[in-house]
Amino acid sequence: MTGKREIIAVADSDTLARTAAERLLARIVQGGERPAIALTGGSSPEGLYRLLAQEPYRSRVPWERVHWFIGDDRFVPPDDRLSNMGMARRLFLDRVNAPAANIHPMATTVASPQTAARLYETELKSFYGADRLDRARPMFDLVLMGLGSDGHTASLFPGAPALEEKEHWVVGVDKAHLAPFVPRVTLTFPALASTREMLFLVSGEDKRDILARVLAGEDLPAARAASDGGLVWLVDRAAFAGRNAA
Ligand code: 6PG
């Protein structure tokens, strides 16, 4: 069953980061022996990632059990400043006791984004333990998502064939619609949907127009994103015009 969208509006980006950290922890606690989180890139999750490396969160996360994936990445070497997993590593994963085997980056130094996509799909299937997604048994406990100014999410850009992908869990994207203009590798909607909770993080005034369009139901990639579990839009007051935030 596809979850109903919930909007949580908070005062500012600090509250957004703390609220996201609490939701992430709650999902980890409910996630059994091997909780799986799909991280995202962009600037919106940076505050959350920094918090996870600091107390009290650092001590509250059972690092030895949690597995960290990435919902999309730029096809650049892992130490490139543009790498999404590279950012997550710099901000928290390299600063805590996360076992290397629990961190699942995309292989971005292989021949092509398509090869990277096939490899990541194989890795996801092996972690999940099946070749087909079962809606009653989500792959992830939490999938983090961002919102681009053109309405993209993950690396699913407006008008791209990747939006229609129903079979593959991961695809290569040769051309980005928005800077940085480097090829991407992205999970598809069916794979992203296989989660107990999908959590969009949207912060800042420059997101106000596009957020209003998405929430009004315009046919944009971010508005198409569905979840087999909860679907939560965590937004701050700067991004979410017209309603008072807590
Ligand atoms: C990427 C991201 C992308 C991001 C949005 C929002 O690789 O660029 O995964 O989907 O989440 O573009 O980015 P900002 O938070 O920087 O606006």
Q: Does residue 244 fall inside a structural domain?
A: no
Q: Cα(154) to centroid of ligand 1, in Å?
A: 7
Domain of 200, CATH number, reads: 3.40.50.1360
Q: Does residue 241 fall inside a structural domain?
A: no
Q: Does residue 242 fall inside a structural domain?
A: no
Q: Does residue 245 fall inside a structural domain?
A: no
Cβ–ligand 1 distance for 38 under 6 Å, the answer no
Task: Give the separation between CA 237 and CA 235, rounded to whole angstroms.
Answer: 7
Q: What are the tokens at 96?
A: 């805590």
Max Cα–Cα distance, the chain, nearest Å: 49
Confidence class for position 100, pLDDT limits 50, 70, 90: very high
Who's near 148: CB < 8 A, 6+ residues apart?
Answer: 42, 157, 177, 178, 210, 222
What's the pTM value of the predicted model, to 2 decimals?
Answer: 0.96
**Ligand 1 atom showing the smallest separation from residue 146 Cα:** 11
The residue nearest atom 13 of ligand 1, judged by CA position, is: 42
Q: By residue range, what is the domain housing residue 9? A: 5-236
Mean predicted lDDT score pLDDT of the chain: 95
pLDDT (tens digit per residue) in 135-181: 999 999 999 999 999 999 999 999 999 999 999 999 999 998 889 99
pLDDT (tens digit per residue) in 32-83: 999 999 999 999 999 999 999 999 999 999 999 999 999 999 999 999 999 9
Cβ–ligand 1 distance for 48 under 6 Å, the answer no
| For ligand 1, mutation pick of 144, 153, 235 (most atoms within 8 Å of CB) | 153
Residue 211 C-beta-side C-alpha neighbours within 13 Å = 23
Cβ–ligand 1 distance for 43 under 6 Å, the answer yes
Question: In the chain, how many domains are there?
Answer: 1
Q: Does residue 246 fall inside a structural domain?
A: no
Q: Cα(202) to centroid of ligand 1, in Å?
A: 10
